[in-house]
Structure 1
Amino acid sequence: MKLNLLSFAMLSFFSSAIYAAPTLYGEIDASIDYLPEKNTNSSNKDVWEISSNSSYLGIKGDEKLTERLSAVYGIEWGFSADGDSNDWVQRNRFVGLKDTQLGTIKVGKHDTPVKQLSSTVDIFNNYVANKADIGGILVGENRIDNIVAYESPTISLDKGVVKFNALLASGESSGIKTSSGGAKVAGRGLGDAWSASLVYEHPFFVAGLGYDKAIPSTFAGRGFLNVATGQSYTADTQAFAAANTLRAIGRLNPIEGLSIKTLYQRSEVEETTYADPAEATKWATKANNIDDAEGWLVGAEYMLPNAKKWILKAQYSQNDTSFKNNMADFKAKQIMAGADYVFSKQVKSYAYGGYLMLKQADKKDKQPVVGVGLEFKF
Structure 2
Amino acid sequence: MKFTKNILAITVLSSLSISAFAADVTLYGKANLTVQSSDDGEGSYTEVKSNASRIGLKGTHALEDGLEVVYKAEFQVDLDGDSDDNITSRNQYIGLRGAFGEVLVGKNDTVLKQSQGKADLFSDLNGDIKSLFEGENRLSDTITYKSPKFSGIQLGVTYIAEDSVDGESGVSVSAVYGDAKLKKSDIYASLAVDSEVDGYDVIRATVQGKVADFTLGAMLQTQENIDGTEEMDGVMLSAKYTVNKMTYKGQFQAANYKDGDDQTGITVGVDYKLAKSTKLFAFYTNFDLDTQEDKEYLGVGVEYNF
Residue 345, structure 1, aligned to residue 273, structure 2: no
* Counterpart residue number, 1:20: 23
Q: How many residues align?
A: 282
* Counterpart residue number, 1:336: 267
The alpha-carbon deviation at position 208 of structure 1 amounts to 0.6
* Counterpart residue number, 2:147: 152
* Counterpart residue number, 1:263: 219
Residue 208, structure 1, aligned to residue 190, structure 2: yes
Contact (CA 8 Å) 2:97, 2:103: kept in 1 or not? yes
Distance 1:335 1:76 in 2: 31
Which amino acid is 1:261 matched to?
A: G
Residue 302, structure 1, aligned to residue 212, structure 2: no
* Counterpart residue number, 1:228: none
Which amino acid is 2:255 matched to?
A: N
Which amino acid is 1:334 matched to?
A: G
Q: 1:18 and 1:356, CA in 2 relative to 1: closer, same or farther beyond 3 A?
A: closer
Larger Rg: 1
Which amino acid is 1:209 matched to?
A: L
Contact (CA 8 Å) 1:37, 1:47: kept in 2 or not? no
Q: 1:246 and 1:46, CA in 2 relative to 1: closer, same or farther beyond 3 A?
A: closer
Contact (CA 8 Å) 1:138, 1:319: kept in 2 or not? yes
The alpha-carbon deviation at position 66 of structure 1 amounts to 2.1
* Counterpart residue number, 1:223: none
Contact (CA 8 Å) 1:20, 1:62: kept in 2 or not? no
Identical pairs, percent? 27
* Counterpart residue number, 1:244: 201
Q: 1:71 and 1:295, CA in 2 relative to 1: closer, same or farther beyond 3 A?
A: same
The alpha-carbon deviation at position 46 of structure 1 amounts to 4.6
The alpha-carbon deviation at position 344 of structure 1 amounts to 2.2
Contact (CA 8 Å) 2:127, 2:266: kept in 1 or not? no
Distance 1:270 1:103 in 2: 31
Distance 2:257 2:33 in 1: 31
Contact (CA 8 Å) 2:26, 2:59: kept in 1 or not? yes
- Cα shift readout 1:181-211 (whole Å, capped 9, x = no counterpart): xxxxx33xxxx31101111117332111000
The CA RMSD measured in Å over matched residues stands at: 2.1
The alpha-carbon deviation at position 18 of structure 1 amounts to 6.0
Which amino acid is 2:187 matched to?
A: F
Which amino acid is 2:89 matched to?
A: Q
- Cα shift readout 1:146-172 (whole Å, capped 9, x = no counterpart): 1111122333x2xxx212221111102
Residue 65, structure 1, aligned to residue 42, structure 2: no
The alpha-carbon deviation at position 260 of structure 1 amounts to 0.6
Q: 1:22 and 1:38, CA in 2 relative to 1: closer, same or farther beyond 3 A?
A: closer
Unaligned 5+ residue runs, structure 2?
1-19, 180-184
Contact (CA 8 Å) 2:57, 2:74: kept in 1 or not? yes
SS in 2 for 1:114: helix
Q: 1:294 and 1:372, CA in 2 relative to 1: closer, same or farther beyond 3 A?
A: same
Distance 2:118 2:240 in 1: 12
Moved over 4 A (4+): 36-39
Residue 199, structure 1, aligned to residue 176, structure 2: yes
Contact (CA 8 Å) 2:272, 2:280: kept in 1 or not? yes
